[in-house]
Structure 1
Amino acid sequence: MADEPAAPQQARLEKLASRLQWLLPLFGVSLALVVLCDRLGLADPQRASRPALATSVAIALVQLASALLCVIISAMWLHRASANLAERGVPMRHSPTGAWGWYFLPIANLFKPLGAMKEIWAASIGTDGSVGTTTDPLLVRWWSAWIVGNIALSMSARTESIGGTSMAIVLDVVGVVALFAAGLFFARIVDAVTSSQGGASTAATFA
């Protein structure tokens, strides 16, 4: 009976996870369309026709909204996933707030979020709940794609500002593909952790 209060928390985790399953691909597709519109000049008021400009603005608004929702709901999911483990007595080095807060701190956001996710993954899915010295390949692919995508898009803007248009286009493609892949990898992580925690919660309730 002591585990009954965990049921609403697991339901909340599952609800957040279900939203991320469609929000993450929406963000990736809308980001690709925004970059494409920009490269084709469809977002330029001086060059684009009124219908094309209206379409590009609509796509940009969808991209902005999906990005904002992805940030908020991902943070909520990370907080809940970490809190679920802490509430079940699992010793956690990263607090629920730290699980998402590290993303917003310069320098630390290059490695600390991976450490927090590795801890959540190991405690949720690992056979003994401990954090080992190795990192699951899915986490490596997710974090590598995330870092590469952000760096590529950042370099693209700087490269174009000094006249390197061709290189900027290449970096745009790399950045968009990498971030889209990162979103898909993250969705798989979310699904795996959520399912595993749900199974653990059910087992604890009927133990």
Structure 2
Amino acid sequence: MTSAQYRFRPINLLGATTARWLVFVAIGEGIMGAWSAADIFVLSNFDTLSQRTLDTWSLTGLIAFVHIGLYLTTVVIAARWIYRANANTCANRRKLETPPPWAVGWFFIPFANLWKPYKAMAEMVRANRRSGTDLPLGPWWAAWLISGIVGNISARIAFSGNDPSTLMTSSVLGVIASLAGIAAALLFRRIVMAVTEAQTAQLQAEVF
């Protein structure tokens, strides 16, 4: 099961690890969404809260740094899974228009990352789809784009001013981005588990 460039390697452990970290990300997004919702409450009652309460609340911003670390770790793990799933597909003599390195690389190319990663993922999933399996590629990609774009706008608004009205807008967008982030993480987890299961079953069938 080899091609000129790629070898078929077991993916079950990597797939399980990726699925686990995607759950962590979904939980982290939920916490960030709750934090943004609490921000809305604080901003709505800004004039009635004590200075001590406001000073204490400002420290909760450290949650964002924990979330960033969690997110970046998951990005690295998920990128490894995407590469391996694509490499296994190529090793199985199934030609893909997007090679494994670019299946990951397109995520980091501005503008092209709005559709190229989806195209690569859809092609790979189709090549590994089991009969009767319908995976949520469209909803996953829509949630991913909403989370990224709205989250970016929220952050830019937050940095553009410190008045309550501006921060309120940022927090509302933050809630939307977090909800989309939860959906994206859980939908991608479903895709990861399905492709991992299909490739693991294929490997086991060839061994036996």
**TM-score normalised to the size of structure 2?**
0.78
Separation in 2, partners of 1:100, 1:90:
18
C-alpha displacement at 1:28, in angstroms?
2.7
Question: 2:74 matched to 1:76?
Answer: no
Q: Which runs of 5+ in 1 are unaligned?
A: 128-135
Q: How does 1:95-134 map to 2 (within 5 A)?
A: 95-125=99-129
Out of 171, 188, 194, the residue aligned to residue 169 of structure 1 is 171
Separation in 2, partners of 1:137, 1:188:
8
Q: How does 1:17-36 map to 2 (within 5 A)?
A: 17-34=15-32, 36=34
- Aligned residue in 2 for 1:14: 12
- Aligned residue in 2 for 1:142: 140
Separation in 2, partners of 1:31, 1:125:
29
Q: Are the equivalent residues in 1 in contact too, given 2:106–2:113 (CA < 8 A)? A: yes
Aligned partner of 2:171: which letter? Answer: I
Q: Which runs of 5+ in 2 are unaligned?
A: 44-51
Higher RCO (Cα < 8 Å, 6 or more apart): 2
Separation in 1, partners of 2:30, 2:166:
20
- Aligned residue in 2 for 1:157: 155
C-alpha displacement at 1:35, in angstroms?
5.4
Residues 88-136 of structure 1: per-residue CA shift (max 9 Å, x gap): 1111111110111100000110000001110110111155xxxxxxxx5
Aligned-pair Cα RMSD in Å: 2.9
C-alpha displacement at 1:64, in angstroms?
2.4
Identity of aligned residues (%): 32
C-alpha displacement at 1:155, in angstroms?
1.9
Residues matched between the structures, number: 187
